[in-house]
């Protein structure tokens, strides 16, 4: 039987600039009962992701904004407590877009059943979930990386970036990445297979440092950060290079949009292809990745790091810390034991 109380986190106010703890409100409601077609899930693990910052703004985007007062949404791994939907039974492990809360009731069609093997459940929110899929889609489909090419990745030690580097190495590329501390840069090389790394916070000239780490130039850029790093990458791109625009986290907490990168004429002169993408538009490649990644993980070819915050009460802090670079690999919030 579930506990009777369900703690929840709601959007209390929209941030102007940086997110603060005041933007969140905690509430408690009774745990409900599923109606016909619904499932009651006990949430075990929750993902906090950069895109959630965009959903806190009241602007039109590829995903609707969070509404004021509403329970925030997140990718969750949980366990079925009660089901009124054919195909799910008590005890099943599931994943889906549920709430920042201890229990969620949802339409059974929103869920995907997990058949966990020996891997920890949290991996379905990271290396076997959306961030891993994003790395694969961006590198292989959007940027069409080829063996022998040089790939540059920003936010390289994060959930997406740490997978991009490893996939690029498995594919026979040379990989260089940027990250925000010496410890993260060491990890890029020791754990994630990067050939070279750069602590962008210590760089006096990003253009010069990226050029020296990529002496033959960059064939493929995997852009997670935007701003100065994106601008500096442009100066090292080879003719006919490709950049997968995955995200621009350096801008997400700006109260006003910033001017674009300088050097845009380089895109013309070097005949670059720069393409934005959203992972969920590529379901076939996502499925292809999950199958391959499950095997690579078993064979020890893919390594994985995560940073775990304990308890729903720490979810807002985990989210803010992740936006500020407090995480290595995937930022997870553990809500309950399985």
Residue showing the smallest CB distance to ligand NAP in the complex: 158
User: What would the two tokens of residue 53 be?
Assistant: 């910052």
The residue count for binding ligand NAP (CB under 6 A) is 28
As given in the structure block, the two tokens for residue 44 are 């075990």
Structure tokens given for 205: 């000239």
Distance CA 177, CA 194 (A): 7
CA nearest neighbour of 171 among 329, 286, 303, 301: 301
Q: Which two tokens stand for residue 177?
A: 């990445």
Task: In angstroms, give the least distance from the CB of 60 to ligand NAP.
Answer: 17
Residue 191 Cβ vs ligand NAP, minimum distance, rounded to whole Å: 14
As a whole number of angstroms, the distance between CA 101 and CA 87 comes to: 24
Q: Is 56 helix (H, G, I), strand (E, B) or coil?
A: coil
Residue 131 main-chain phi, psi, to 5 deg: -65, -40
* Run of H or E including 283: helix 283-298
Among 69, 79, 81, 75, smallest CA distance to 32 is for 81
Q: How far is CA 113 from the centre of its chain?
A: 21
3-state SS, residue 19: coil
Is the Cβ of residue 246 or residue 297 nearer to ligand NAP in the bound state? 246
Residue 333 binds ligand NAP (CB under 6 A) = no
Of 34, 50, 99, 197, the one binding ligand NAP (CB under 6 A) is 50
Is the Cβ of residue 200 or residue 296 nearer to ligand NAP in the bound state? 200
Examine residue 209 and tell whether it contacts ligand NAP (CB under 6 A).
no
Q: Does 246 bind ligand NAP (CB under 6 A)?
A: yes
Query: Residues 165-184: x/- map of binding to ligand NAP (CB under 6 A)?
Result: --------------xxx--x
Task: Tell the smallest beta-carbon distance from residue 81 to ligand NAP (Å).
Answer: 29
Closest separation in Å from C-beta 181 to ligand NAP:
6
How many angstroms separate the CA atoms of 256 and 248, rounded?
14
10 Å Cβ neighbour count for 73? 19
**Contact between 121 and ligand NAP (CB under 6 A)?**
no
**250 touches ligand NAP (CB under 6 A):** yes
Site string for ligand NAP, 263-302 (x = CB under 6 A): --------------xxx-----------------------
210 lies in the site for ligand NAP, by CB under 6 A: no
Using CB under 6 A as the criterion, which residues of the chain lie in contact with ligand NAP when the complex forms? 49-51, 131, 134, 155, 157-161, 179-181, 184, 224-225, 246-247, 249-250, 277-279, 322-323, 325, 327
């Amino acid at each position: 039987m579930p506990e009777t109380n369900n703690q929840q986190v709601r959007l209390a106010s929209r941030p102007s600039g940086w997110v603060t703890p005041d933007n969140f409100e905690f509430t408690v409601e009774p745990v409900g009962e599923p109606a016909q077609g619904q499932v009651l899930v006990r949430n075990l693990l929750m993902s906090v992701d950069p895109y959630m910052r965009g959903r806190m703004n009241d602007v039109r985007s590829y995903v609707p904004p969070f509404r004021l007062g509403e329970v925030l949404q997140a990718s969750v791994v949980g366990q079925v407590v009660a089901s009124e939907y054919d195909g799910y039974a008590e005890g099943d492990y599931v994943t889906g877009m549920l709430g920042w809360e201890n229990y969620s009731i949802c339409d059974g069609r929103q869920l995907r059943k997990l058949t966990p093997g020996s891997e920890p459940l949290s991996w379905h929110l990271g290396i076997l979930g959306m961030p891993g899929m994003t790395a694969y889609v961006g590198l292989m489909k959007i940027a069409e990386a080829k063996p022998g090419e040089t790939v540059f990745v920003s936010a390289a030690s994060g959930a997406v970036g740490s997978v991009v580097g490893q996939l690029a190495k498995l594919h026979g590329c040379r990989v260089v990445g940027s990250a925000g501390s010496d410890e993260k840069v060491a990890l890029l090389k020791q754990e994630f297979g990067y050939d070279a790394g750069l602590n962008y916070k210590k760089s006096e000239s990003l253009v010069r440092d990226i050029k020296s780490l990529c002496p033959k130039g960059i064939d493929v850029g995997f852009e997670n950060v935007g701003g100065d790093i994106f601008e500096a990458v442009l100066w090292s791109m080879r003719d006919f290079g490709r950049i997968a625009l995955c995200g621009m986290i350096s801008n997400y907490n700006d109260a006003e949009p910033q001017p674009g990168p300088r050097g845009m004429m380089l895109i013309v002169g070097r005949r670059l292809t720069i393409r934005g993408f959203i992972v969920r538009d590529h379901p076939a490649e996502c499925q292809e990745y999950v199958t391959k990644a499950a095997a690579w993980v078993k064979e020890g070819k893919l390594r994985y790091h995560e940073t775990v915050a304990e308890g729903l009460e720490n979810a807002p802090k985990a989210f803010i810390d992740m936006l500020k670079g407090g995480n290595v690999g995937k930022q997870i919030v553990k809500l309950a034991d399985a």
